[in-house]
């Protein structure tokens, strides 16, 4: 039985899923932390404001917020980020590295020699093949398939059911639409949709 205790920063639907994964992994969620709570509890766990926390610097946090940009912003305010939370149903090679703050949801597959950055969301049923690199604050949505040797930059969101063919490099803060098929490299700060994927928008760096 694990004695690990964590606080989840963000009382949202995404937080509900992480709470369940923590339970599956015998990790105790002490409280959600949210400065704009919609209720006083979530899944029978108290929701606290940051002003109500004592010794915040020594508490272990996982950021339970779906927005990649907000996760990055919050991460800069917290002192102690917990190790990744991984659902027991995930299939992960022994030759994979996963950085702090990342959440691996049910039925995810991560194959050999892949590196997963910090504060990443690997959502339900996502497949990450061998020799991939997923940057910090990225989100790989449910049932997306990232094939071998793919590089995905910081803050990029891969939509549900999207497919990225082998060896592709996707830049940082890119949005790949649901169901897209990516067959060419994608530059930073763009939005890509369709099969084959086409750039439909160039985003501002702070947008």
Given a contact cutoff of 8 angstroms between Cβ atoms, the answer to whether 101 and 62 are in contact is yes
16's enclosing H/E stretch is helix 13-24
- Report the relative pairing of strands 41-42 and 45-48 from DSSP bridges: antiparallel
Indicate which residue of 14, 119, 130, 157 is catalytic.
130
Given a contact cutoff of 8 angstroms between Cβ atoms, the answer to whether 34 and 47 are in contact is yes
Q: Taking the alpha carbons of 145, 139, 42, 60 in that order, is the dihedral positive or negative?
A: positive
Q: What is the Cα–Cα distance from 118 to 201, expressed in whole angstroms? A: 27
| 14 catalytic residue (yes or no) | no
Token pair belonging to 20: 């369940």
Catalytically active residues are 130
């Amino acid at each position: 039985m694990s004695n690990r205790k964590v606080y989840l920063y963000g009382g949202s639907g995404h937080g509900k899923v992480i709470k369940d994964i923590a339970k599956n992994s015998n990790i105790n969620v002490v409280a959600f932390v949210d400065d704009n709570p919609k209720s006083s509890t979530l899944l029978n766990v108290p929701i606290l404001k940051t002003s109500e926390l004592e010794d915040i610097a020594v508490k272990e946090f996982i950021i339970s917020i779906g927005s990649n940009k907000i996760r990055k912003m919050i991460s800069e305010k917290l002192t102690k980020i917990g190790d990744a939370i991984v659902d027991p149903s995930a299939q992960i090679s022994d030759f994979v590295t996963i950085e702090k703050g990342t959440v691996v949801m049910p039925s995810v597959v991560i194959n050999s020699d892949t590196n997963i950055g910090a504060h990443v969301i690997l959502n339900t049923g996502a497949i990450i093949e061998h020799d991939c690199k997923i940057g910090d604050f990225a989100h790989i949505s449910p049932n997306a398939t990232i094939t071998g040797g793919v590089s995905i930059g910081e803050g990029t969101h891969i939509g549900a059911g999207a497919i990225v063919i082998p060896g592709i490099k996707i830049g940082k803060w890119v949005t790949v639409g649901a169901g897209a098929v990516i067959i060419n490299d994608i530059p930073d700060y763009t939005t890509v949709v369709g099969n084959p994927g086409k750039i439909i928008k160039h985003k501002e760096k702070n947008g």
